[in-house]
Chain A
Amino acid sequence: MAMQTPAACDYSRATSVDDAIAQLEALGGNARILAGGYSLIPMMKLRLANPGHVIDINPLEPELNYIRQEGDEIRIGALTRHVNMLESDLLSRTFPDIFREAEAVLADPVVRNRGTMGGSLCQSDPAEDLSGVVVALKGKAVLRGPGGAERVVGMEEFHLGPYMTAVQPTEMLIEVRFDIHRGFGGAHEKVERRAGDFAIVAASSALAIEGGTIKWAGVACSAVGPTTLHIERAEEALVGQAPSEELFVKAGEMASADCSPNSDGRGPADYKRAVAGVLTTRALSRAAATALR
């Protein structure tokens, strides 16, 4: 059997975020940040990614692995591992229980020990679970570049296509921020071929319900388009309404209509389109039940 090996590349470790960015700058864009490695290294083995240099940021755990509340935001560091998000009481309390549901079905426990928030987002795989949650919650990515310059990018600008993000060659994703909502409920629904696989289709939904009215909604679908899809039309239809099963069926129909799946080994496009609708309705129903609990 031929062995899969990355193309020749150099390796270094970062001593701080600013050092990592300085190294990116010095290497003139021919380098990639290496975090958990469970996305980038397989991509390098497949020669789909051929960086001339990888900068290992695992030593930056004290600086970049955190989940904390600041004002009315939750901030998650880019090197926060999936297992940390799965087991976070703060995330469970603030966003019941969309992070835990997605993390529990994301890959397998061994991958979750090492894989990171930043790696998931920067891989920009439209079938990946955590990205669905970040899109539904309208997370904002903090990108730091040369000279410490930071910019904050919404998810609609962040994911440009499969494996393509707004992160520039000399920039690094350092944090993702989420607004806190009162009356929050969320859910993640996934259909997969086997435990730990990428989704055939997944739906991430979140609602904020106050006084019997939906004040805020987030609806995202994974594996049914070139990026994780934000189903805006469904969100607009939900906000201002009283939660009801009919409403959620309608929102599911919009997700079905607005997604753009391809037929592939995971199933035909019309099947995926139907599943996107069913999962969106289910996720919204459960999100509402959690919000009203």
Chain B
Amino acid sequence: MLVSISINGQEYSHDVEPRLLLVHFIREYAELHGTHWGCDTSNCGICIVLMEDPNSDQPPYPVKSCTMLAAMAVGYEITTVEGMPKPDGTLDPIQQGFHEMHALQCGFCTPGMMSTGRWLIERHPNPTQMTDHEIRDGISGNLCRCTGYDNIVKAIRWAAAYIDEHPESARTAR
């Protein structure tokens, strides 16, 4: 079937099998390798990308792209890590936060962590006041096999504080 998905503001159209998973559409057809593919069993959150329903006022929310058919994403806006920076290359605050706080070791979980982290900040009424429990519970669907959670929590805090000081960076770039 012909599947046409908007990823980072660009339309990708390919003739694929209906059983194709979104993660493989993103990596193999759109050739965007920033989205990683981990456990393949909906547990690890490595493959998380942001999805937005253009007909809804809800902010983009994280989905596990190994647990969606590519066909299910038609009509939604998908944002991967490649789509996070501003057009001039300025990193999104969540990306900058991971850089500042050294929130990665091997880097495999990073794209998923950043996607979930971005959403946690966007949906929280008062992001700078997020408790450690809220952040840790929020990323409980993302596994870091390097167990570098402390710095990941700090990175999400850094981004929340940055967005608080720079409100113009609040919307997820696309």
A contact set with B: CB distance below 8 Å? 1, 3-11, 34, 37-38, 41-42, 44-45, 54, 56, 58, 107-111, 113-114, 195-196
Q: Which of B24, B40, B48, B140 has the most CB of A within 10 A?
A: B140
The answer, among B67, B138, B142, for a CB contact under 8 Å with A41, is B67
Nearest B residue (CB) for A196 = B140
How far, in whole Å, are A110 and B62 apart by their CA atoms in the complex?
Answer: 6
Given contacts A1-B40, A109-B137, 18 further A-B contacts (CB under 8 A): A5-B24, A6-B21, A8-B19, A10-B18, A11-B69, A11-B71, A38-B67, A41-B68, A41-B69, A42-B42, A56-B72, A107-B141, A109-B138, A109-B140, A110-B142, A111-B64, A113-B63, A196-B141
How far, in whole Å, are A10 and B48 apart by their CA atoms in the complex?
Answer: 24
Q: Which residues of B contact A195 (CB under 8 A)?
A: 137, 140
The answer, among B24, B37, B48, B67, for a CB contact under 8 Å with A37, is B67
Taking CB atoms and an 8 Å cut-off, the chain B residues in 130-152 that contact chain A are: 137-138, 140-142
Nearest A residue (CB) for B56 = A61
Q: With A56-B71, A109-B141 in contact, do A3 and B63 touch (Cβ < 8 Å)?
A: no
Determine whether the beta carbon of B40 is less than 8 Å from that of A110.
no
Q: Which residues of B contact A54 (CB under 8 A)?
A: 18, 69
Q: Which residues of A contact B17 (CB under 8 A)?
A: 8
The answer, among A1, A42, A110, for a CB contact under 8 Å with B63, is A110
Q: Which residues of A contact B62 (CB under 8 A)?
A: 110, 113
A-B contacts at CB below 8 angstroms, number: 80
Determine whether the beta carbon of B141 is less than 8 Å from that of A110.
yes
Quick check: is B41 within 8 A (CB to CB) of the other chain? Answer: yes
How far, in whole Å, are A53 and B31 apart by their CA atoms in the complex?
Answer: 28
Q: Which of B19, B61, B137 has the most CB of A within 10 A?
A: B19
Quick check: is B95 within 8 A (CB to CB) of the other chain? Answer: no
Q: Scoring B residues 28 to 42 as 1 if CB is less than 8 Å from chain A, else 0, what string do you get?
A: 000000000100111
How far, in whole Å, are A212 and B63 apart by their CA atoms in the complex?
Answer: 47
Nearest Cβ in chain B — how far from A214, in angstroms?
33
Nearest Cβ in chain B — how far from A187, in angstroms?
19
Quick check: is B116 within 8 A (CB to CB) of the other chain? Answer: yes
Q: Which of A6, A108, A111 has the most CB of B within 10 A?
A: A108
Nearest Cβ in chain A — how far from B128, in angstroms?
19
Q: Which residues of B contact A114 (CB under 8 A)?
A: 63
Nearest Cβ in chain B — how far from A104, in angstroms?
8
Nearest Cβ in chain A — how far from B38, in angstroms?
10
A-B interface, 5 closest residue pairs, ranked by CB to CB distance from nearest? A108-B141, A11-B18, A110-B141, A195-B140, A6-B19
